[in-house]
Structure 1
Amino acid sequence: MKIKNYKELAKIAGCGVGTISRYFSGGSISDDMRERISAILQQNDFLFKKNQEQINVTLLIFDKTSKWTCQIIQFLANKLANENTVVNIVLVNEDKNLFDLKLQTLQQQWNMKIIIFTSYYEDVSNLLKKYENNANILVFGQQNNKFQALYFNFEKIMYQLVTSTALQAKAILYLSLGTEWKTLYRGYFKASNDLNLMTNYLVLTGDDYETDLTLLTNTIIDKHIETVICVDEESYFLVKSIKKIDLKIINVIFDPNLVTNYLISNQAIKINFNWIIEQVMTFLSSRIISNEQQEIPIEIIV
Protein backbone atom coordinates (compact mmCIF):
# COMPACT_ATOMS: atom_id res chain seq x y z
CA MET A 1 0.00 0.00 0.00
CA LYS A 2 1.21 3.51 -0.81
CA ILE A 3 0.77 6.08 1.97
CA LYS A 4 1.03 9.67 0.73
CA ASN A 5 1.01 11.81 3.88
CA TYR A 6 0.71 12.06 7.66
CA LYS A 7 -3.11 12.08 7.48
CA GLU A 8 -3.30 8.75 5.67
CA LEU A 9 -0.73 7.21 8.00
CA ALA A 10 -2.64 8.47 11.05
CA LYS A 11 -5.88 6.94 9.74
CA ILE A 12 -4.26 3.53 9.28
CA ALA A 13 -2.56 3.67 12.69
CA GLY A 14 -5.74 4.81 14.42
CA CYS A 15 -4.29 7.98 15.90
CA GLY A 16 -4.13 11.72 15.29
CA VAL A 17 -1.86 13.58 12.88
CA GLY A 18 -0.10 15.12 15.90
CA THR A 19 0.95 11.66 17.08
CA ILE A 20 2.45 10.93 13.66
CA SER A 21 4.31 14.24 13.73
CA ARG A 22 5.72 13.47 17.19
CA TYR A 23 6.80 10.04 15.98
CA PHE A 24 8.95 11.52 13.21
CA SER A 25 10.31 14.39 15.32
CA GLY A 26 11.28 12.18 18.26
CA GLY A 27 8.48 13.46 20.51
CA SER A 28 6.64 11.60 23.24
CA ILE A 29 4.13 8.90 22.28
CA SER A 30 3.19 5.55 23.84
CA ASP A 31 5.42 2.52 23.19
CA ASP A 32 2.47 0.59 21.73
CA MET A 33 1.67 3.34 19.24
CA ARG A 34 5.35 3.73 18.33
CA GLU A 35 5.58 0.01 17.58
CA ARG A 36 2.35 0.12 15.56
CA ILE A 37 3.53 3.01 13.39
CA SER A 38 6.94 1.36 12.88
CA ALA A 39 5.26 -1.86 11.76
CA ILE A 40 3.05 0.02 9.28
CA LEU A 41 6.06 1.83 7.81
CA GLN A 42 7.97 -1.41 7.40
CA GLN A 43 5.09 -3.07 5.56
CA ASN A 44 4.04 -0.15 3.34
CA ASP A 45 5.53 2.39 0.95
CA PHE A 46 5.45 5.78 2.68
CA LEU A 47 5.81 8.26 -0.20
CA PHE A 48 5.98 11.29 2.06
CA LYS A 49 9.10 9.83 3.63
CA LYS A 50 10.86 9.88 0.27
CA ASN A 51 10.03 13.53 -0.29
CA GLN A 52 11.22 14.63 3.12
CA GLU A 53 14.92 14.75 3.88
CA GLN A 54 14.48 15.81 7.49
CA ILE A 55 16.68 13.83 9.85
CA ASN A 56 16.19 13.17 13.54
CA VAL A 57 19.36 13.17 15.61
CA THR A 58 19.73 12.66 19.34
CA LEU A 59 22.79 13.92 21.19
CA LEU A 60 23.27 11.49 24.08
CA ILE A 61 25.26 13.19 26.84
CA PHE A 62 26.69 11.75 30.06
CA ASP A 63 26.09 13.78 33.21
CA LYS A 64 29.85 14.09 33.83
CA THR A 65 30.45 15.79 30.51
CA SER A 66 33.20 18.39 30.63
CA LYS A 67 32.53 22.06 30.00
CA TRP A 68 34.44 22.15 26.73
CA THR A 69 32.49 19.12 25.47
CA CYS A 70 29.26 20.93 26.36
CA GLN A 71 30.46 23.89 24.30
CA ILE A 72 31.05 21.61 21.33
CA ILE A 73 27.60 20.07 21.81
CA GLN A 74 25.97 23.51 21.89
CA PHE A 75 27.82 24.59 18.76
CA LEU A 76 26.97 21.34 16.98
CA ALA A 77 23.28 21.58 17.93
CA ASN A 78 23.10 25.15 16.59
CA LYS A 79 24.71 24.09 13.32
CA LEU A 80 22.51 21.04 12.82
CA ALA A 81 19.37 23.07 13.47
CA ASN A 82 20.09 24.90 10.23
CA GLU A 83 20.53 21.66 8.27
CA ASN A 84 16.88 20.52 8.18
CA THR A 85 17.58 18.34 11.19
CA VAL A 86 15.52 17.83 14.34
CA VAL A 87 17.93 17.80 17.30
CA ASN A 88 17.09 16.10 20.60
CA ILE A 89 19.37 16.24 23.64
CA VAL A 90 19.14 13.38 26.17
CA LEU A 91 21.08 13.21 29.44
CA VAL A 92 22.27 9.80 30.70
CA ASN A 93 24.50 8.48 33.47
CA GLU A 94 26.48 5.32 34.16
CA ASP A 95 23.40 3.26 35.10
CA LYS A 96 23.47 0.45 32.51
CA ASN A 97 19.76 -0.38 32.73
CA LEU A 98 18.71 3.25 32.28
CA PHE A 99 21.19 3.69 29.45
CA ASP A 100 19.82 0.61 27.66
CA LEU A 101 16.23 1.76 28.12
CA LYS A 102 16.90 5.19 26.63
CA LEU A 103 18.99 3.90 23.75
CA GLN A 104 16.48 1.20 22.81
CA THR A 105 13.63 3.74 22.89
CA LEU A 106 15.58 6.08 20.63
CA GLN A 107 16.36 3.32 18.14
CA GLN A 108 12.66 2.65 17.66
CA GLN A 109 12.08 6.14 16.30
CA TRP A 110 11.93 6.72 12.57
CA ASN A 111 15.16 7.76 10.84
CA MET A 112 16.88 8.36 14.17
CA LYS A 113 20.63 8.92 14.32
CA ILE A 114 22.36 8.90 17.70
CA ILE A 115 25.58 10.70 18.62
CA ILE A 116 27.00 9.61 21.98
CA PHE A 117 29.35 12.09 23.66
CA THR A 118 31.67 10.09 25.90
CA SER A 119 33.72 12.90 27.49
CA TYR A 120 35.51 11.53 30.60
CA TYR A 121 33.52 8.28 30.72
CA GLU A 122 36.14 5.66 29.81
CA ASP A 123 33.91 2.57 30.17
CA VAL A 124 31.42 3.54 27.47
CA SER A 125 32.47 0.49 25.41
CA ASN A 126 30.93 -1.80 28.03
CA LEU A 127 27.62 0.04 27.84
CA LEU A 128 27.62 -0.12 24.05
CA LYS A 129 28.63 -3.75 23.63
CA LYS A 130 25.20 -4.98 22.51
CA TYR A 131 24.95 -2.14 19.95
CA GLU A 132 28.27 -2.78 18.20
CA ASN A 133 28.46 -2.15 14.44
CA ASN A 134 25.22 -0.16 14.51
CA ALA A 135 25.39 2.26 11.57
CA ASN A 136 22.98 4.68 13.28
CA ILE A 137 25.30 5.34 16.25
CA LEU A 138 28.29 7.70 16.22
CA VAL A 139 30.65 7.80 19.21
CA PHE A 140 32.09 11.29 19.74
CA GLY A 141 35.15 11.60 21.97
CA GLN A 142 36.74 8.16 21.94
CA GLN A 143 38.23 5.94 19.27
CA ASN A 144 36.19 2.75 18.96
CA ASN A 145 36.71 0.20 16.20
CA LYS A 146 33.19 -1.19 16.67
CA PHE A 147 31.49 2.11 15.80
CA GLN A 148 31.87 5.11 13.60
CA ALA A 149 33.67 7.65 15.77
CA LEU A 150 35.04 11.17 15.89
CA TYR A 151 37.72 11.78 18.47
CA PHE A 152 40.58 14.00 19.53
CA ASN A 153 43.93 12.25 19.83
CA PHE A 154 44.84 14.00 23.08
CA GLU A 155 48.18 12.26 23.39
CA LYS A 156 49.20 13.59 19.98
CA ILE A 157 47.75 17.03 20.75
CA MET A 158 49.81 17.34 23.93
CA TYR A 159 52.92 15.98 22.22
CA GLN A 160 52.65 18.57 19.44
CA LEU A 161 51.84 21.32 21.94
CA VAL A 162 54.91 20.59 24.09
CA THR A 163 57.13 20.24 21.01
CA SER A 164 56.00 23.62 19.69
CA THR A 165 56.20 25.30 23.10
CA ALA A 166 59.72 23.96 23.66
CA LEU A 167 60.98 26.12 20.79
CA GLN A 168 60.44 29.13 23.07
CA ALA A 169 60.64 27.70 26.59
CA LYS A 170 62.37 24.71 28.18
CA ALA A 171 60.86 24.72 31.67
CA ILE A 172 57.27 23.58 31.04
CA LEU A 173 54.89 22.67 33.85
CA TYR A 174 51.98 20.25 33.34
CA LEU A 175 49.29 21.45 35.75
CA SER A 176 46.06 19.75 36.76
CA LEU A 177 43.57 20.48 39.50
CA GLY A 178 42.04 17.08 40.21
CA THR A 179 41.63 16.00 36.58
CA GLU A 180 43.33 12.69 35.81
CA TRP A 181 43.72 12.85 32.06
CA LYS A 182 46.10 9.99 31.27
CA THR A 183 46.27 10.51 27.51
CA LEU A 184 47.33 14.14 27.89
CA TYR A 185 50.00 13.24 30.42
CA ARG A 186 51.38 10.47 28.19
CA GLY A 187 51.78 13.03 25.40
CA TYR A 188 53.49 15.48 27.78
CA PHE A 189 55.83 12.82 29.18
CA LYS A 190 56.74 11.40 25.77
CA ALA A 191 57.47 14.83 24.27
CA SER A 192 59.54 15.86 27.30
CA ASN A 193 61.52 12.61 27.10
CA ASP A 194 62.11 12.91 23.33
CA LEU A 195 63.22 16.54 23.72
CA ASN A 196 65.34 15.88 26.83
CA LEU A 197 63.23 18.27 28.89
CA MET A 198 62.79 18.02 32.64
CA THR A 199 59.28 16.70 33.40
CA ASN A 200 57.47 19.07 35.74
CA TYR A 201 54.15 17.54 36.75
CA LEU A 202 51.83 18.97 39.39
CA VAL A 203 48.36 17.69 40.32
CA LEU A 204 46.61 19.78 42.96
CA THR A 205 43.74 18.53 45.10
CA GLY A 206 41.44 21.55 44.92
CA ASP A 207 40.53 21.04 48.58
CA ASP A 208 42.15 24.23 49.85
CA TYR A 209 42.70 27.24 47.61
CA GLU A 210 45.48 28.85 49.65
CA THR A 211 47.42 25.60 49.96
CA ASP A 212 47.16 24.92 46.23
CA LEU A 213 48.16 28.48 45.38
CA THR A 214 51.20 28.36 47.66
CA LEU A 215 52.36 25.00 46.30
CA LEU A 216 51.92 26.16 42.71
CA THR A 217 53.72 29.46 43.29
CA ASN A 218 56.66 27.74 44.99
CA THR A 219 56.91 25.17 42.20
CA ILE A 220 57.00 27.88 39.53
CA ILE A 221 59.68 29.84 41.39
CA ASP A 222 61.84 26.89 42.49
CA LYS A 223 61.85 25.20 39.08
CA HIS A 224 62.09 28.44 37.09
CA ILE A 225 58.96 27.56 35.11
CA GLU A 226 58.52 29.56 31.90
CA THR A 227 55.27 28.04 30.58
CA VAL A 228 52.36 26.35 32.34
CA ILE A 229 50.08 23.99 30.41
CA CYS A 230 46.72 23.65 32.20
CA VAL A 231 44.54 20.63 31.44
CA ASP A 232 41.38 21.88 33.15
CA GLU A 233 39.62 25.18 33.69
CA GLU A 234 40.20 25.24 37.46
CA SER A 235 43.98 25.02 37.17
CA TYR A 236 43.93 27.71 34.47
CA PHE A 237 42.16 30.22 36.72
CA LEU A 238 44.40 29.29 39.64
CA VAL A 239 47.62 30.03 37.80
CA LYS A 240 46.09 33.21 36.34
CA SER A 241 45.55 34.45 39.90
CA ILE A 242 49.29 34.46 40.66
CA LYS A 243 50.60 38.00 40.62
CA LYS A 244 54.00 39.37 39.65
CA ILE A 245 55.27 36.21 37.97
CA ASP A 246 56.15 36.41 34.30
CA LEU A 247 55.19 33.22 32.50
CA LYS A 248 53.10 31.96 29.61
CA ILE A 249 49.85 30.11 30.36
CA ILE A 250 48.32 27.64 27.92
CA ASN A 251 45.05 25.86 28.61
CA VAL A 252 43.86 22.74 26.79
CA ILE A 253 40.26 23.96 26.89
CA PHE A 254 38.52 24.48 23.57
CA ASP A 255 36.31 27.51 23.09
CA PRO A 256 33.99 27.45 20.04
CA ASN A 257 34.11 30.67 18.05
CA LEU A 258 30.70 31.23 16.47
CA VAL A 259 32.09 33.77 14.03
CA THR A 260 35.09 31.92 12.60
CA ASN A 261 33.75 28.36 13.02
CA TYR A 262 36.95 27.39 14.78
CA LEU A 263 37.60 25.90 18.19
CA ILE A 264 40.49 27.78 19.75
CA SER A 265 42.31 26.96 22.97
CA ASN A 266 43.92 30.11 24.37
CA GLN A 267 45.46 30.85 20.97
CA ALA A 268 47.34 27.53 21.22
CA ILE A 269 45.21 24.84 19.61
CA LYS A 270 43.01 25.44 16.58
CA ILE A 271 40.36 23.06 15.26
CA ASN A 272 38.27 23.68 12.16
CA PHE A 273 34.73 23.07 13.34
CA ASN A 274 33.46 22.95 9.76
CA TRP A 275 35.51 19.77 9.34
CA ILE A 276 33.64 18.20 12.28
CA ILE A 277 30.30 19.28 10.81
CA GLU A 278 31.23 17.70 7.46
CA GLN A 279 31.92 14.35 9.13
CA VAL A 280 28.73 14.53 11.20
CA MET A 281 26.71 15.27 8.06
CA THR A 282 28.34 12.26 6.38
CA PHE A 283 27.08 10.14 9.27
CA LEU A 284 23.60 11.68 9.20
CA SER A 285 23.27 10.99 5.48
CA SER A 286 23.83 7.27 6.20
CA ARG A 287 27.28 7.23 4.65
CA ILE A 288 30.26 5.72 6.44
CA ILE A 289 32.98 7.88 7.98
CA SER A 290 36.24 6.19 6.96
CA ASN A 291 38.82 5.26 9.58
CA GLU A 292 41.17 7.90 8.14
CA GLN A 293 38.56 10.61 8.73
CA GLN A 294 37.74 9.77 12.35
CA GLU A 295 40.65 11.48 14.11
CA ILE A 296 39.86 15.20 14.34
CA PRO A 297 42.82 17.19 12.91
CA ILE A 298 44.26 20.03 14.96
CA GLU A 299 46.66 22.90 14.35
CA ILE A 300 49.12 24.15 16.98
CA ILE A 301 49.39 27.95 16.84
CA VAL A 302 51.64 28.67 19.85
Structure 2
Amino acid sequence: MSIILGPHQYGKAENRIVRIYRDSPRHEIHDVNVSTALRGDFDAAHLRGDQGTVLPTDTQKQTAYSYAKEKGLLSIESYGLELARHFVDDVEPVSGARIEIEEFAWERVLVDGSEHDFTFVRKGQEIRTAAITVEGSGDAQREWVIGGFKDLVILKTTGSEFHGFLEDEYTLLQPTTDRIMATSLVAQWRFTTTDVDWEATYAGIKQIMVSTFATVHSLALQQTLYEMGKAVLEAYPFIAEIRMSAPNKHHFLYDLAPFGLTNDNEVFNADDRPYGLIQASVLRDDAPDAGPAWTIAGGFA
Protein backbone atom coordinates (compact mmCIF):
# COMPACT_ATOMS: atom_id res chain seq x y z
CA MET A 1 0.00 0.00 0.00
CA SER A 2 1.27 3.49 -0.85
CA ILE A 3 0.15 6.83 0.56
CA ILE A 4 -0.09 9.80 -1.77
CA LEU A 5 -1.10 13.43 -1.59
CA GLY A 6 -4.61 14.07 -2.92
CA PRO A 7 -6.20 17.18 -4.43
CA HIS A 8 -5.46 20.34 -2.49
CA GLN A 9 -5.87 24.10 -2.63
CA TYR A 10 -5.15 27.05 -0.38
CA GLY A 11 -6.15 30.67 -0.07
CA LYS A 12 -7.33 33.57 2.05
CA ALA A 13 -10.88 33.28 3.37
CA GLU A 14 -13.36 36.05 4.17
CA ASN A 15 -11.60 39.25 3.25
CA ARG A 16 -14.08 41.98 4.26
CA ILE A 17 -13.78 44.72 1.65
CA VAL A 18 -15.80 47.92 1.50
CA ARG A 19 -15.36 49.99 -1.66
CA ILE A 20 -16.64 53.58 -1.64
CA TYR A 21 -17.05 55.46 -4.92
CA ARG A 22 -16.47 59.18 -4.33
CA ASP A 23 -16.48 60.38 -7.94
CA SER A 24 -19.31 62.80 -7.16
CA PRO A 25 -20.93 64.27 -4.03
CA ARG A 26 -23.37 61.31 -4.17
CA HIS A 27 -21.29 58.37 -2.96
CA GLU A 28 -21.79 54.68 -3.78
CA ILE A 29 -20.94 51.74 -1.51
CA HIS A 30 -20.14 48.09 -2.27
CA ASP A 31 -19.64 45.81 0.73
CA VAL A 32 -18.30 42.30 0.09
CA ASN A 33 -16.76 39.24 1.70
CA VAL A 34 -14.15 37.69 -0.63
CA SER A 35 -12.49 34.28 -0.36
CA THR A 36 -9.69 33.14 -2.68
CA ALA A 37 -8.37 29.63 -3.31
CA LEU A 38 -5.51 28.62 -5.59
CA ARG A 39 -4.71 25.25 -7.17
CA GLY A 40 -1.47 24.28 -8.85
CA ASP A 41 1.98 22.83 -8.30
CA PHE A 42 2.07 23.00 -4.50
CA ASP A 43 2.99 19.39 -3.74
CA ALA A 44 6.38 20.36 -2.32
CA ALA A 45 4.78 22.54 0.34
CA HIS A 46 2.82 19.55 1.65
CA LEU A 47 5.48 16.87 1.20
CA ARG A 48 8.65 18.75 2.17
CA GLY A 49 7.53 22.08 3.62
CA ASP A 50 9.08 23.84 0.61
CA GLN A 51 7.27 27.15 0.05
CA GLY A 52 9.07 28.06 -3.18
CA THR A 53 5.92 27.96 -5.31
CA VAL A 54 3.50 29.24 -2.68
CA LEU A 55 2.10 32.74 -3.12
CA PRO A 56 1.35 33.77 0.49
CA THR A 57 -2.28 34.00 1.49
CA ASP A 58 -1.47 37.51 2.73
CA THR A 59 -0.52 38.42 -0.86
CA GLN A 60 -3.87 37.09 -2.02
CA LYS A 61 -5.54 39.35 0.54
CA GLN A 62 -3.56 42.40 -0.58
CA THR A 63 -4.44 41.67 -4.20
CA ALA A 64 -8.15 41.41 -3.41
CA TYR A 65 -8.11 44.82 -1.74
CA SER A 66 -5.98 46.40 -4.47
CA TYR A 67 -8.23 45.08 -7.24
CA ALA A 68 -11.23 46.70 -5.56
CA LYS A 69 -9.52 49.96 -6.51
CA GLU A 70 -7.66 49.00 -9.71
CA LYS A 71 -10.41 47.01 -11.43
CA GLY A 72 -13.44 48.33 -9.58
CA LEU A 73 -16.21 46.59 -7.66
CA LEU A 74 -19.40 47.48 -9.50
CA SER A 75 -20.39 43.83 -10.10
CA ILE A 76 -19.10 40.97 -7.99
CA GLU A 77 -18.99 38.65 -11.00
CA SER A 78 -16.75 40.90 -13.10
CA TYR A 79 -14.54 41.69 -10.07
CA GLY A 80 -14.19 37.97 -9.33
CA LEU A 81 -13.27 37.21 -12.95
CA GLU A 82 -10.54 39.89 -12.92
CA LEU A 83 -9.11 38.49 -9.68
CA ALA A 84 -9.18 34.85 -10.81
CA ARG A 85 -7.65 35.65 -14.19
CA HIS A 86 -4.83 37.52 -12.49
CA PHE A 87 -3.87 34.60 -10.26
CA VAL A 88 -3.96 32.10 -13.15
CA ASP A 89 -2.34 34.29 -15.81
CA ASP A 90 0.26 36.15 -13.74
CA VAL A 91 1.33 33.70 -11.00
CA GLU A 92 3.26 30.91 -12.71
CA PRO A 93 2.62 27.94 -10.36
CA VAL A 94 -1.13 28.60 -10.28
CA SER A 95 -3.21 26.53 -12.70
CA GLY A 96 -6.63 27.25 -11.23
CA ALA A 97 -8.26 29.92 -9.06
CA ARG A 98 -11.56 29.97 -7.26
CA ILE A 99 -13.08 33.24 -5.99
CA GLU A 100 -16.17 33.18 -3.80
CA ILE A 101 -17.92 36.44 -2.96
CA GLU A 102 -20.82 37.53 -0.78
CA GLU A 103 -22.29 41.01 -1.16
CA PHE A 104 -24.14 42.89 1.58
CA ALA A 105 -26.59 45.53 0.40
CA TRP A 106 -27.01 49.06 1.73
CA GLU A 107 -29.62 51.74 1.08
CA ARG A 108 -29.55 55.47 1.52
CA VAL A 109 -30.92 57.18 4.60
CA LEU A 110 -33.85 59.50 3.98
CA VAL A 111 -33.50 63.04 5.34
CA ASP A 112 -36.56 65.29 5.04
CA GLY A 113 -37.96 62.92 2.40
CA SER A 114 -34.84 62.91 0.21
CA GLU A 115 -32.04 60.36 -0.09
CA HIS A 116 -28.85 61.43 1.67
CA ASP A 117 -25.75 61.48 -0.51
CA PHE A 118 -23.35 59.65 1.81
CA THR A 119 -25.24 58.02 4.68
CA PHE A 120 -26.52 54.45 4.45
CA VAL A 121 -28.30 51.77 6.47
CA ARG A 122 -27.97 48.04 5.89
CA LYS A 123 -30.71 46.62 3.67
CA GLY A 124 -31.35 43.51 1.73
CA GLN A 125 -33.73 40.59 1.78
CA GLU A 126 -30.86 38.28 0.90
CA ILE A 127 -27.08 38.06 0.55
CA ARG A 128 -25.96 38.00 -3.07
CA THR A 129 -23.24 35.47 -3.94
CA ALA A 130 -20.87 34.63 -6.77
CA ALA A 131 -18.30 31.91 -7.33
CA ILE A 132 -15.77 32.24 -10.15
CA THR A 133 -13.38 29.52 -11.31
CA VAL A 134 -10.62 30.04 -13.88
CA GLU A 135 -8.33 27.22 -15.04
CA GLY A 136 -5.61 26.87 -17.67
CA SER A 137 -3.85 29.42 -19.82
CA GLY A 138 -3.98 30.88 -23.30
CA ASP A 139 -6.47 29.37 -25.72
CA ALA A 140 -7.04 26.47 -23.30
CA GLN A 141 -8.20 28.71 -20.46
CA ARG A 142 -11.71 27.97 -19.21
CA GLU A 143 -13.93 30.08 -16.98
CA TRP A 144 -17.04 29.26 -14.97
CA VAL A 145 -19.28 31.78 -13.19
CA ILE A 146 -21.95 30.85 -10.66
CA GLY A 147 -24.30 33.57 -9.46
CA GLY A 148 -26.71 33.24 -6.60
CA PHE A 149 -28.07 34.35 -3.28
CA LYS A 150 -28.63 32.95 0.20
CA ASP A 151 -30.83 33.73 3.19
CA LEU A 152 -33.81 34.89 1.13
CA VAL A 153 -36.61 34.39 3.67
CA ILE A 154 -39.93 34.09 1.88
CA LEU A 155 -43.38 33.08 3.16
CA LYS A 156 -46.93 32.81 1.90
CA THR A 157 -49.89 32.41 4.21
CA THR A 158 -51.98 30.20 1.90
CA GLY A 159 -51.80 28.59 -1.52
CA SER A 160 -49.86 25.59 -0.21
CA GLU A 161 -50.96 22.02 0.51
CA PHE A 162 -49.31 18.81 1.68
CA HIS A 163 -51.21 15.54 1.57
CA GLY A 164 -51.21 12.14 -0.10
CA PHE A 165 -47.77 11.36 1.33
CA LEU A 166 -46.45 7.93 2.22
CA GLU A 167 -47.40 6.82 5.74
CA ASP A 168 -46.15 4.05 8.04
CA GLU A 169 -46.50 3.13 11.70
CA TYR A 170 -44.38 6.13 12.77
CA THR A 171 -46.29 8.77 10.81
CA LEU A 172 -48.04 11.38 12.95
CA LEU A 173 -48.18 14.30 10.51
CA GLN A 174 -51.70 15.24 9.49
CA PRO A 175 -52.41 16.06 5.83
CA THR A 176 -53.42 19.63 5.06
CA THR A 177 -54.94 21.50 2.16
CA ASP A 178 -54.09 24.96 3.52
CA ARG A 179 -50.81 25.74 5.23
CA ILE A 180 -48.16 28.40 5.61
CA MET A 181 -45.19 27.73 3.33
CA ALA A 182 -41.95 29.44 4.29
CA THR A 183 -38.27 28.95 3.59
CA SER A 184 -34.87 30.61 3.74
CA LEU A 185 -33.80 30.00 0.16
CA VAL A 186 -30.31 29.41 -1.19
CA ALA A 187 -29.98 29.44 -4.98
CA GLN A 188 -27.01 29.16 -7.31
CA TRP A 189 -27.09 29.33 -11.11
CA ARG A 190 -24.37 28.47 -13.61
CA PHE A 191 -23.71 30.74 -16.58
CA THR A 192 -22.55 29.46 -19.97
CA THR A 193 -20.90 32.78 -20.86
CA THR A 194 -19.21 35.74 -19.21
CA ASP A 195 -20.80 38.21 -21.64
CA VAL A 196 -23.61 39.04 -19.24
CA ASP A 197 -25.26 42.13 -17.81
CA TRP A 198 -24.66 40.89 -14.27
CA GLU A 199 -26.77 43.46 -12.44
CA ALA A 200 -29.85 43.23 -14.65
CA THR A 201 -29.67 39.44 -14.79
CA TYR A 202 -29.45 39.10 -11.02
CA ALA A 203 -32.44 41.36 -10.49
CA GLY A 204 -34.42 39.50 -13.13
CA ILE A 205 -33.70 36.05 -11.72
CA LYS A 206 -34.64 37.09 -8.21
CA GLN A 207 -37.91 38.60 -9.43
CA ILE A 208 -38.80 35.45 -11.39
CA MET A 209 -38.12 33.19 -8.42
CA VAL A 210 -40.08 35.31 -5.95
CA SER A 211 -43.07 35.76 -8.25
CA THR A 212 -43.14 32.04 -9.09
CA PHE A 213 -43.08 31.15 -5.39
CA ALA A 214 -46.04 33.48 -4.90
CA THR A 215 -48.19 32.38 -7.84
CA VAL A 216 -47.71 28.60 -8.05
CA HIS A 217 -50.39 26.80 -6.06
CA SER A 218 -48.08 24.42 -4.29
CA LEU A 219 -48.77 20.78 -3.51
CA ALA A 220 -45.21 20.45 -2.16
CA LEU A 221 -42.15 22.62 -1.69
CA GLN A 222 -40.41 20.30 -4.17
CA GLN A 223 -42.92 21.26 -6.85
CA THR A 224 -42.44 24.95 -6.16
CA LEU A 225 -38.64 24.69 -6.41
CA TYR A 226 -38.87 22.93 -9.76
CA GLU A 227 -41.23 25.57 -11.15
CA MET A 228 -38.95 28.35 -9.91
CA GLY A 229 -35.91 26.81 -11.56
CA LYS A 230 -37.78 26.05 -14.77
CA ALA A 231 -38.97 29.65 -15.04
CA VAL A 232 -35.40 30.96 -14.68
CA LEU A 233 -34.04 28.65 -17.40
CA GLU A 234 -36.89 29.56 -19.75
CA ALA A 235 -36.14 33.27 -19.30
CA TYR A 236 -32.34 33.08 -19.57
CA PRO A 237 -30.92 30.80 -22.29
CA PHE A 238 -27.35 31.47 -21.11
CA ILE A 239 -28.00 29.78 -17.75
CA ALA A 240 -27.25 26.05 -17.86
CA GLU A 241 -28.40 24.96 -14.42
CA ILE A 242 -29.83 26.25 -11.18
CA ARG A 243 -29.51 24.59 -7.78
CA MET A 244 -31.68 25.38 -4.78
CA SER A 245 -31.58 24.48 -1.12
CA ALA A 246 -34.72 25.25 0.87
CA PRO A 247 -35.23 24.50 4.56
CA ASN A 248 -38.92 24.14 5.31
CA LYS A 249 -39.55 26.76 7.99
CA HIS A 250 -42.43 25.01 9.72
CA HIS A 251 -45.41 26.90 11.14
CA PHE A 252 -47.61 24.67 13.27
CA LEU A 253 -51.15 25.61 14.21
CA TYR A 254 -51.17 26.35 17.94
CA ASP A 255 -53.74 24.63 20.15
CA LEU A 256 -55.85 27.33 21.78
CA ALA A 257 -58.65 24.95 22.83
CA PRO A 258 -57.48 24.83 26.49
CA PHE A 259 -58.34 28.55 26.66
CA GLY A 260 -61.76 28.15 25.05
CA LEU A 261 -60.56 29.76 21.83
CA THR A 262 -61.01 28.64 18.23
CA ASN A 263 -57.88 28.84 16.12
CA ASP A 264 -59.07 29.18 12.52
CA ASN A 265 -55.62 29.07 10.85
CA GLU A 266 -54.65 32.31 12.57
CA VAL A 267 -52.10 31.62 15.35
CA PHE A 268 -49.01 29.50 14.72
CA ASN A 269 -45.86 28.32 16.43
CA ALA A 270 -42.87 29.13 14.23
CA ASP A 271 -40.64 26.13 14.92
CA ASP A 272 -37.02 26.62 13.88
CA ARG A 273 -35.76 23.03 14.29
CA PRO A 274 -35.72 20.31 13.30
CA TYR A 275 -36.74 21.21 9.78
CA GLY A 276 -37.25 19.54 6.45
CA LEU A 277 -34.50 20.37 3.95
CA ILE A 278 -35.47 20.21 0.29
CA GLN A 279 -32.69 20.45 -2.32
CA ALA A 280 -33.09 20.31 -6.08
CA SER A 281 -31.37 21.15 -9.33
CA VAL A 282 -33.02 22.09 -12.61
CA LEU A 283 -30.89 21.96 -15.73
CA ARG A 284 -30.93 21.79 -19.50
CA ASP A 285 -30.46 18.31 -20.92
CA ASP A 286 -27.80 19.75 -23.24
CA ALA A 287 -26.07 21.81 -20.52
CA PRO A 288 -22.30 22.11 -21.07
CA ASP A 289 -19.82 20.50 -18.72
CA ALA A 290 -19.79 22.10 -15.27
CA GLY A 291 -16.08 21.37 -14.86
CA PRO A 292 -14.88 22.21 -11.37
CA ALA A 293 -17.55 24.87 -10.90
CA TRP A 294 -19.80 22.78 -8.65
CA THR A 295 -17.34 20.28 -7.27
CA ILE A 296 -15.03 22.83 -5.67
CA ALA A 297 -18.06 24.61 -4.22
CA GLY A 298 -19.13 21.37 -2.59
CA GLY A 299 -22.34 20.92 -4.54
CA PHE A 300 -25.37 22.26 -2.73
CA ALA A 301 -24.77 25.34 -0.59
Higher strand share goes to which structure?
2
Using the size of structure 1 for normalisation, the TM-score is: 0.28
- Structure (1/2) with the larger helix percentage: 1
* Bigger relative CO (Cα 8 Å, ≥ 6 apart): 1
What TM-score do you get using the length of structure 2 for normalisation? 0.28
